[in-house]
Chain A
Amino acid sequence: MFMLKSFRYITGYVKFSGKGVFPERFLNLCANNNILVWSPKIKYGELSGFMHINDYKRIRKIAKKSCMRLKITKRKGVPFLINRYKRRYGIPIGVALFFFIIVYLSGFCLNITVCGDGVLKTEKLENALAKSGIYIGRDLSEFDADTARQDFLIKNRQYSFAAVNIKGSHISVELVKTNKKRMKKLSKTPCNIIAKNAGKILKVKAYEGRISVKIGEAVAPGDLLVSGVVELTNKTTKFVHSEAEVLALTRHKLEVFAPFKTKQKLKSSEIITRSVFKIANINIPLYLGEVEKPYETKKQVKKYKIGGVELPFKKITAKFSKIKYKKITLNEQSAKAFAKQKMKKLIKNKLKNTIKSSQKGKFRVTKRGVFYSKVYFCEENIAKSKKILK
């Protein structure tokens, strides 16, 4: 019944009523002329019923024959609906545009999911995938999953397995990380171990290769520590990939300079927020104008999901805080404090947790500023591999 009702609605039908002498004759003539009248009712000599719009156009003669005067009381169906809105061009254009967008966008990658043991979809991984042609907004008609997969594996040796599957406009990437031991095996080119820095050898732990230094011996940068050329008992030589940990006591003299006249970076309290709506690879700015340089930015990305599925658009909000540089003149004491701060930063970057002891720092005051130097004694691994054959 639902199918019949929907068919009638699509084709369009009318409810009619009529007064006349022979309503029964009218029904019989309709039946004989293949005109379908459904739910006819006769009440107080008035006939009412339903009929298809095309059939209604054909009943004029029949109505005349049966002495009936008919009129339409209700119009229902899609043809009438179209007729009602035919002057509203926006509706058909909108409907056409909707279908066009649906069909057009289905030809592009709208979502990428990455799965695998311990593999996370980070920005770094997203960039690596993008370099192999797997990115949101990619035209799928020209996309070859197998080529992209091979390209990704060649460029990223840390993954041993990759599978790229396309499901509609969704790309799912499955990755397996390479075992670290296997990675080492893969890079087994013959090499020596040389000294990175000058120092006094404290401990040598050689996994492969022939040790060429003794404990307590002093070495200069570039000196051979573990050789990759091994002599066998039958007096033949073999090249191996040397691996060793060489702990040595090293001396580092660090010096920093703090000028009297310097520029101080000042952040303003005013924060300007700018948002961008990103659909696939298209950025739609939600602002007008530009932010004056210099500034510092903090980005926030808001991703939209429906039922756990990431949608192909996101909102990127950047917070700009303006920076001003102020010229300041330091006195000797504050310059010394500034130099000490600089030294701390330098140690953090260069020596990390290797410092064993240090000498007292020395200040040297000049016209331009203060030099601060300090000697550190560290225990560090000075092993550095160098290929034997180039």
Chain B
Amino acid sequence: MANVKNKLNRINKCFDLPEGLITGEIFIELMANKQAVLEGKCSVLQYSDTQIKINTGNGTIEFFGANMCLDTLNKEGAMISGTIQKIEFS
């Protein structure tokens, strides 16, 4: 599996494509600190007003803030809104 990923990464570099486009890594788009749009397969590990923990397959992303809300969650991605104060990758 790791071998296949490495190969795909190489192709990515050859064609100067954005990192992780072929390998299916999660793509995060931030609108200031108000909204975050996550594209790619993800699931929720922890969900509360102040913290949302998302599992991306390769690791986890934690959003810290106030009035956090998971607007939508489906197969293609998720949308988080609220006042985002901190993002942690692990």
Listed in ascending order, the chain A residues whose CB lies under 8 Å from chain B are 23-24, 27-28, 30-32, 34, 36-43
- Number of CB contacts from chain A to chain B under 8 A: 38
Residues B73 and A30 in contact, CB atoms below 8 Å apart: yes
Whether B44 and A38, one on each chain, are in contact in the complex, defined by CB atoms closer than 8 angstroms, is no
Given the complex, which residues of A lie within 8 Å of B71, measured CB to CB? Answer: 38-39
In contact, A28 and B44 (Cβ under 8 angstroms): yes
Residues of B near A42 (CB, < 8 A) are 47-48
A-B contact pairs, 8 of them (CB 8 A): A24-B47, A27-B70, A28-B44, A31-B73, A31-B78, A38-B72, A40-B70, A42-B47
Whether the Cβ atoms of B75 and A34 lie closer than 8 Å is yes
- Nearest-CB residue, chain A, relative to B49: A43
The CA of A43 and the CA of B78, in the complex, are separated in Å by 20
Give B22 Cβ to nearest chain A Cβ, in Å.
23
Residue count of chain B within 8 Å CB distance of chain A:
15
Extra pairs beyond A24-B46, A30-B73, A34-B74 (12, CB < 8 Å):
A24-B44, A24-B47, A27-B70, A28-B73, A31-B75, A31-B78, A36-B74, A37-B72, A38-B71, A38-B72, A40-B70, A43-B49
**Cβ B74 vs Cβ A40 within 8 A:** no
Nearest-neighbor residue (CB-CB) of A40 within chain B:
B70
Contact assessment for B75 and A32 in the assembled complex, using a CB-CB cutoff below 8 Å: yes
Q: Are A40 and B75 in contact (CB under 8 A)?
A: no
Would you call A31 and B70 a contact (CB within 8 A)? Answer: no
Closest 4 CB pairs of A and B: A28-B43, A24-B44, A31-B73, A31-B74
| Chief secondary structure at chain A's binding surface | mixed
User: Which chain A positions have C-beta within 8 A of B72?
Assistant: 36-38
Please give the distance in Å from A133's CB to the nearest CB on chain B. Answer: 62
A27 to chain B, nearest CB (A): 5
Residues of B within 8 A of A23 (CB): 47
With most chain B CB atoms within 10 A of its CB, the pick from A23, A27, A30 is: A27
Greatest chain B CB density within 10 A among A23, A30, A39, A43 is at A39
Residues on the A chain within 8 Å of B70, using CB: 27, 40
Q: Which residue of B lies closest to A38 (CB)?
A: B72
Closest to A42 in B: B47
Distance of A65 from chain B, by nearest CB (Å): 14
- Bound CA–CA A36/B78 (angstroms): 11
Contacts of B43 in A (CB 8 A): 28, 31
Shortest CB distance A41–B (Å): 7
Q: Tell me if A39 and B69 are in contact (CB < 8 A).
A: yes
**Smallest CB gap from A29: residue in B:** B43
B45 contacts chain A at the CB level, 8 A cutoff: yes
A31→B44 CA distance, assembly (Å): 10
